[in-house]
C-alpha cells in the first residue's frame, strides 16, 4: 500500500463531516469491544449496514502513515481502517469501490487533538488515488454527538434512545466481567459468559432497537448478570479494589493498554474502569455549563439573540443529560439487583469534588476534569488504589498525573501512572507488582468498599 506525500494534500470537505450514512457500509472503529458492537447493532436496527472494524492488526500501517507526533489512538484507528481497506481490496479485486464505505470517526472540540484525528485520516485517505471516495462521517461534541444529518430525520429520536441504552448496557456488561473474573470458579468462565452475553445483547438490540428496546434488552442483561453471579466462588476473599481512570481510548482499548486490567487481576486486583457513559454525560454536562455561561454573558451585555440561542442550547443539552442519566440509573438499578457491580457517579458529583478541593476546574474542559475528581473519589470511597492510563505524551493524562500525585502522596493512597504507546516497557510489570503490594497493605489497614 503506497501513497503520495500525505502532508501535501488538502483534506476534502465533501468526504468528511456530518454525512448521511445511507446505504453505505459503515465502519465503526473498536475502542471498547462491547460498546462498539452494541452501537453497531443499534445502527443496524435502523437499517444502517454497520460493522465493527477488527482492531490491532493494522498497527504497522498506522505507524507507516503517521509521523510519530500524533496521538496514539489516531494511529491505531487509522491502522485499523487501512488494514480493512487492504483486506477488502484483496477480497474484491477490481470490484473494490471506496465510495461504498463510510468510516465513522467522532470528534471533540476543545484544547485536545481529538478534533484533528479525522482531518488527518482524511488527508491520508486522499493521498491514495482510489480511496478519495471513502467518506468519514463525524459526530461532534458541540451538538452532543447528535446523529441528525446521519440518518433519516424521523428516526433520530428513537435512534438516540437505542444508542444511549446500548452504551449503558455495554458498561454494565464490562462491569460484570471486572466484578466476576477475579472470583470465578474456573478460569475462563467469565470471559466466555461476557462474549456470549455480548452476542445475545446484540441480537436483542438489533431486533428491538427501532421499537421500544428497554425492557427486552435489560431483561436479557439481567439473565446474563444472574449467570455471572452463579460463577462467583464465595470462598475467595475480597481483593484490593483498584479504580482505573484516564484517557478514554487507552483505558478502553485492551490492545493499546496491553490488557492492563487482566495484568492487574493477575497480580491480585479487582478493577473498576471508568465508564463510556461518563464521557457522554460529561459532553452534555459541559455543553449545558457553557450554554449557562453564554446566557449570563448575553443578559449582562443585553444581547437578546444570544440569550435566546443560549436558552435553546441549555434546553437541548439539559434534556440529553437528563435522559442519559435516567437511562443509566434505571439500567443500573435493575442490574444491581442481580449482581453487586460498582455503580457509576454523576458528573455533577465530580464537579462538586473539584470545587471543594480547588485542585482543578471544569473550566478547563479535558478528560483531566473527569480523571482528577475520579481519583479523589476513589481515594475517599473505599478503593485501595488507582491507575491513570493514557497515551504517551497525552496532555490531559500528563496534567492529571501532575495535579494528583502530590494529593495522593499526602493521603498515602496507592497511585500509578501507566502511559502507553506500542512499545513494551520492561519495568511495567515490576511497577504493577509494587503498586499491588501497596494496595494490599491499604486493604489490610483500611478495608474496602463492599
With binding defined as CB under 6 A, does residue 112 bind ligand SF4?
A: yes
The piece of 28-36, 112-120, 329-337, 338-346 that touches ligand SF4 (CB under 6 A) is 112-120
Facing residues of 425 across strands? none
User: Whole-number minimum distance, CB 394 to ligand SF4, in Å?
Assistant: 3
User: Using the rule CB under 6 A, is 184 a contact of ligand SF4?
Assistant: no
By beta-carbon proximity to ligand SF4, the closer residue of 123 and 394 is 394
Backbone angles phi, psi at 272, to 5 degrees: -125, 110
Which segments of 190-325 are extended strands (E)? 241-246, 270-273
- How far apart (Å, rounded) are the C-alpha atoms in residues 329 and 296? 31
- Of the listed pieces 10-18, 106-114, 215-223, 295-303, which binds ligand SF4 according to CB under 6 A? 106-114
Kindly state whether residue 73 participates in binding ligand SF4, applying the rule CB under 6 A: yes
Task: Considering the complex, state which of residue 42 and residue 136 has its C-beta at the smaller distance from ligand SF4.
Answer: 136
Cα separation, 79 vs 73, whole angstroms = 10
| 102 contacts 136 by C-beta, under 8 angstroms | yes
Closest C-alpha among 155, 98, 95 to residue 122: 98
Instruction: For the CB of residue 110, give the shortest distance to ligand SF4 in the complex, in Å.
Output: 8
Residues 225 to 254 in contact with ligand SF4, rule: CB under 6 A: 247
Residue 374 in contact with residue 390, Cβ under 8 Å? no
Closer CB to ligand SF4, 49 or 421, in the complex: 421
* Chosen residue from 107, 265, 286, 367 binding ligand SF4 by CB under 6 A: 367
Q: Does 71 bind ligand SF4 (CB under 6 A)?
A: yes
Does 107 bind ligand SF4 (CB under 6 A)? Our answer is no
**62 sits near ligand SF4 (criterion: CB under 6 A):** no
Q: Choose among 255, 111, 271, 251: nearest CA to 180.
A: 271
Tell the residue number behind the cell numbers 482499548, with chain if given. 253
Count of C-beta atoms within a 10 Å radius of residue 41: 26
Please say which residue, 240 or 396, places its beta carbon nearer to ligand SF4: 396
The number of residues that bind ligand SF4 (CB under 6 A) is: 12
Select from 33, 37, 44, 113 the one that contacts ligand SF4 (CB under 6 A).
113
Nearest to 220 by CA among 184, 263, 159, 169: 169
132 touches 125 (CB < 8 A): yes
Instruction: Output the nine-digit C-alpha cell for 350.
Output: 465530580
Our CB check for ligand SF4 shows the closer of 158 and 397 to be 397
Query: How many CB atoms lie under 10 A from the CB of residue 447?
Result: 12
Question: Of residues 390-409, which lie at the interface with ligand SF4 (CB under 6 A)?
Answer: 391, 394-397
**Site for ligand SF4 contains 114 (CB under 6 A):** yes
Supply the Cα-derived Rg of the chain in whole angstroms.
22
Footprint on this chain of ligand SF4 (rule: CB under 6 A): 71, 73, 112-114, 247, 367, 391, 394-397
Amino acid at each position: 500500500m503506497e501513497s503520495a506525500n500525505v502532508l501535501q494534500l488538502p483534506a476534502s470537505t465533501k468526504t468528511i463531516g456530518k454525512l448521511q450514512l445511507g446505504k453505505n457500509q459503515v465502519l465503526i472503529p473498536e475502542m471498547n469491544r462491547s460498546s462498539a458492537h452494541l452501537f453497531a447493532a443499534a445502527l443496524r436496527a435502523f437499517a444502517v449496514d454497520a460493522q465493527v472494524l477488527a482492531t490491532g492488526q493494522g498497527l504497522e500501517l498506522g505507524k507507516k502513515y503517521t509521523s510519530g507526533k500524533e496521538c496514539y489512538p489516531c494511529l491505531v484507528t487509522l491502522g485499523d481502517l487501512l488494514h480493512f481497506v487492504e483486506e477488502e481490496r484483496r477480497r474484491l479485486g477490481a470490484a473494490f469501490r471506496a465510495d461504498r464505505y463510510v468510516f465513522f470517526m467522532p470528534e471533540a472540540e476543545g484544547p485536545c487533538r481529538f478534533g484533528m484525528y479525522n482531518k488527518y485520516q482524511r488527508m491520508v485517505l486522499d493521498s491514495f488515488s482510489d480511496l478519495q471516495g471513502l467518506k468519514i462521517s463525524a459526530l461532534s461534541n458541540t451538538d452532543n454527538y447528535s446523529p441528525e444529518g446521519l440518518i433519516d430525520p424521523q428516526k433520530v429520536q428513537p435512534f438516540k434512545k437505542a444508542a444511549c441504552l446500548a452504551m449503558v448496557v455495554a458498561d454494565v456488561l464490562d462491569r460484570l466481567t471486572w466484578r466476576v473474573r477475579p472470583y470465578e470458579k474456573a478460569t475462563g468462565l467469565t470471559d466466555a459468559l461476557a462474549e456470549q452475553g455480548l452476542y445475545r445483547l446484540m441480537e436483542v438490540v438489533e431486533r428491538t432497537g427501532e421499537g421500544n428496546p428497554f425492557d427486552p434488552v435489560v431483561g436479557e442483561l439481567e439473565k446474563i448478570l444472574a449467570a455471572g453471579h452463579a460463577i462467583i466462588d464465595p470462598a475467595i476473599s475480597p481483593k484490593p479494589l483498584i479504580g482505573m481512570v484516564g484517557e478514554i481510548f487507552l483505558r478502553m482499548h485492551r490492545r493499546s493498554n496491553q490488557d492492563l486490567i487482566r495484568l492487574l487481576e493477575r497480580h491480585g486486583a479487582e478493577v473498576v474502569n471508568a465508564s463510556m457513559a461518563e464521557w457522554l454525560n460529561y459532553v452534555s454536562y459541559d455543553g449545558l455549563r457553557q450554554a449557562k455561561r453564554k446566557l449570563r454573558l448575553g443578559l449582562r451585555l443585553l444581547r437578546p439573540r444570544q440569550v435566546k440561542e443560549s436558552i435553546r442550547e441549555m434546553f437541548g443539552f439539559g434534556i440529553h443529560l437528563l435522559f442519559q442519566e435516567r437511562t443509566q440509573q434505571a439500567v443500573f438499578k435493575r442490574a444491581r439487583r442481580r449482581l453487586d457491580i460498582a455503580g457509576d457517579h454523576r458528573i455533577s458529583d465530580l464537579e462538586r469534588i473539584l470545587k471543594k478541593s480547588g485542585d482543578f476546574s471544569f473550566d478547563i474542559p479535558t478528560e483531566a476534569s473527569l480523571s482528577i475528581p475520579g481519583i479523589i473519589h476513589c481515594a475517599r470511597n473505599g478503593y485501595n488504589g488507582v491507575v491513570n492510563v493514557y497515551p504517551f505524551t497525552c496532555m490531559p493524562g500528563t496534567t492529571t498525573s501532575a495535579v494528583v500525585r502530590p494529593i495522593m502522596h499526602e493521603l498515602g493512597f496507592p497511585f500509578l501512572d501507566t502511559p502507553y504507546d506500542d512499545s513494551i516497557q520492561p519495568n511495567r510489570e515490576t511497577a504493577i507488582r509494587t503498586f499491588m503490594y501497596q494496595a494490599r497493605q491499604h486493604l489490610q489497614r483500611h478495608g474496602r468498599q463492599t
